[in-house]
Structure 1
Amino acid sequence: MVGFQPGEVPPTAAVKFVGAGAAACVADLVTFPLDTAKVRLQIQGEAKAAGGAPGARYKGVFGTMATMVRTEGPGSLYSGLAAGLQRQLSFASVRIGLYDSVKQVYTKGSEHAGLGSRLLAGCTTGALAVALAQPTDVVKVRFQAQARTEGSRRYQGTVDAYRTIAKEEGVRGLWKGTAPNIARNAIVNCAELVTYDLVKEALLESRLMTDNLPCHFAAAFGAGFCATLVASPVDVVKTRYMNAAPGRYGGAARCALATLRREGPAAFYKGFTPAFLRLGSWNVVMFVTYEQLKRALMAARASREAPF
């Protein structure tokens, strides 16, 4: 990331890797209810199409959260949290923590990275992270989509979910929706990291802000909005496809076509408000925490290496 002065020692790749995973977990803890509400809104309308009971009717972000608390209890807002934290530890560490290192590869060590190099780095780390962490994302979405008031819950715990999916759907079931998830996260990663990089760089070069918390907040907010805007359609398809029963859709493309025919183009922006509230706030918490963790970790390392 940009922002270090000539006299400062930039964080190492290991510091970025660890810091990104830890910061993402903090952000997930703060924003997870919004993510759960987003998933419920995105899959709304599928039960009727599948011939099942319509279930609870959700209206808006906070209306969805209120309905879930009333009908399923407060704990439902954090259903799938364990898988979500597992996902961030493996996922964010790669896509965010390795972004600068991969960007350096594409620029061949140059300090001045162009837009193309940044986009390539975002796509690369986003796709690599999905390939590694997809099973955790599948389990997280399944838990968030399952209502606690259902007569028979699909899974009784995180470990049971991994085991059941592998047994009933094969190991490939744990990587269900990998293609749309790679597409989504390549887009999200580029939108988040590249936007954050560019906005922060512009604020610093124009001297509107210094490299501190307000600057990080502004850059992160812009990154969250851009990411939500471009990724929402793919995110809806990813959520529906990963949550669907085996054989319901022949692939992610068919899932997208079925959604378009049944509910129209607006369906691809279902849950946009909670998606933005979640992704925007997630970016703010994550990037602010990440910047502070990098500085704290480097300070701790410097104090250990400093002579007495």
Structure 2
Amino acid sequence: MVGLKPTDIPPSATVKFLSAGTAACIADLFTFPLDTAKVRLQIQGECKTSRTAKKYKGALGTITTMVKTEGPKSLYNGLVAGLQRQMSFASIRIGLYDSVKQFYTPKGSDSASIPTRLLAGCTTGAMAVTCAQPTDVVKVRFQAHIRLVGGPKKYNGTVDAYRTIAREEGVRGLWKGTLPNIIRNSIVNCGEMVTYDLIKETLLRYRLMTDNFPCHFVAAFGAGFCATIVASPVDVVKTRYMNSIPGQYKNALNCMFTMVVKEGPTAFYKGFIPSFLRLGSWNVVMFVSFEQLKRLMVLAQVSWESPF
């Protein structure tokens, strides 16, 4: 392996798994305030009679209102759970995507077809949700909770949140909204991974770009835009259902129908701008970091295995 470059050696499944989780955490650190703003906009309208209900206007307006009424730290409510989610969630849905895609690709085929890529995206997306659902529930609860400056905390930390939800709602409470989350993340994963895969492959095939930062940036931006368009409706239902009090909705479908009746179809695209700002920027940071981390890990592997 002496003299080989990182680009000459395909990264192993383990390298992709670890790189994906780490890259997703890096992306979350940069974009978490936008994700919190998205959650607040998505749940707006379901508690109009609540004294604590706030009127948020746009991503910037939501962030400004939260900083004024709840303090700057409120923008990062649920960050610990969010990072736990990414390490378990992104590692599976992104890190194992290529391996699952190869598994579904018929032997002898030069490249995977679009249906095969979509199937791989749905598979890893569903697998990831099955493992990471409790972390997502806790993250959403933290982000949705309105705590005025100096006001009482809903949970005394992330561990307390897991315990409190399990105690008050049963263990099933930690898996609340699993079905809409599987649907949502299967769609998001297809929108992100398949779009990124196809755009990057096309740019390299026609030599429009080389396999470096500009190529990764363009592919990631396109992936974020497509994912936001197709996933927003399910994302809103998922957020509403996860954050609801016991008995507020019978199930995810009831939540969806209630939204349509009370707020109209446009409710499915509440928080679209912060969703796109968040997903677009998240995808750019994540995929660029993912590509670089894969190369660094392969380089470290080559250096480790090379004789002195």
User: Is TM > 0.5 for Structure 1 vs Structure 2?
Assistant: yes
Amino acid at match of 1:301: Q
Match of 2:271 in 1: 271
**How much does 1:154 deviate?**
2.6
Matched, 1:196 2:185: no
Match of 2:239 in 1: 239
TM-score normalised over the length of structure 2? 0.96
Distance 2:277 2:50 in 1: 30
For the structure 1 residues 167 and 7, does the alpha-carbon distance in structure 2 shift closer, same or farther, using more than 3 Å as the test?
closer
Matched, 1:106 2:125: no
RMSD: 1.5
Amino acid at match of 1:102: V
Distance 2:141 2:155 in 1: 9
Amino acid at match of 1:96: I
Matched, 1:216 2:216: yes
Match of 1:78 in 2: 76
Match of 1:117 in 2: 116
Unaligned runs of 5+ in 2: none
Distance 1:35 1:7 in 2: 34
Q: Is the 8 Å Cα contact of residues 93 and 127 (structure 2) preserved in structure 1?
A: yes
For the structure 1 residues 6 and 80, does the alpha-carbon distance in structure 2 shift closer, same or farther, using more than 3 Å as the test?
closer
SS in 2 for 1:55: coil
For the structure 1 residues 27 and 7, does the alpha-carbon distance in structure 2 shift closer, same or farther, using more than 3 Å as the test?
closer
Match of 2:93 in 1: 95
Distance 2:66 2:42 in 1: 15
SS in 2 for 1:242: helix
Unaligned runs of 5+ in 1: none
Match of 2:56 in 1: 58
Match of 1:253 in 2: 253
TM-score normalised over the length of structure 1? 0.96
Match of 1:44 in 2: 44
For the structure 1 residues 305 and 6, does the alpha-carbon distance in structure 2 shift closer, same or farther, using more than 3 Å as the test?
closer
**How much does 1:28 deviate?**
0.2
For the structure 1 residues 6 and 137, does the alpha-carbon distance in structure 2 shift closer, same or farther, using more than 3 Å as the test?
closer
Distance 2:106 2:143 in 1: 42
Distance 1:71 1:183 in 2: 34
Within 5 Å, which residues of 2 pair with 1:161-172? 161-172=161-172
Q: Is the 8 Å Cα contact of residues 39 and 145 (structure 1) preserved in structure 2?
A: yes
**How much does 1:47 deviate?**
1.2
Q: Is the 8 Å Cα contact of residues 45 and 54 (structure 1) preserved in structure 2?
A: no
Amino acid at match of 1:283: N
**How much does 1:155 deviate?**
1.6
4+ long deviations beyond 6 Å: none
**How much does 1:56 deviate?**
2.0
For the structure 1 residues 202 and 269, does the alpha-carbon distance in structure 2 shift closer, same or farther, using more than 3 Å as the test?
same
Amino acid at match of 1:72: E
Match of 1:205 in 2: 205
**How much does 1:46 deviate?**
1.2
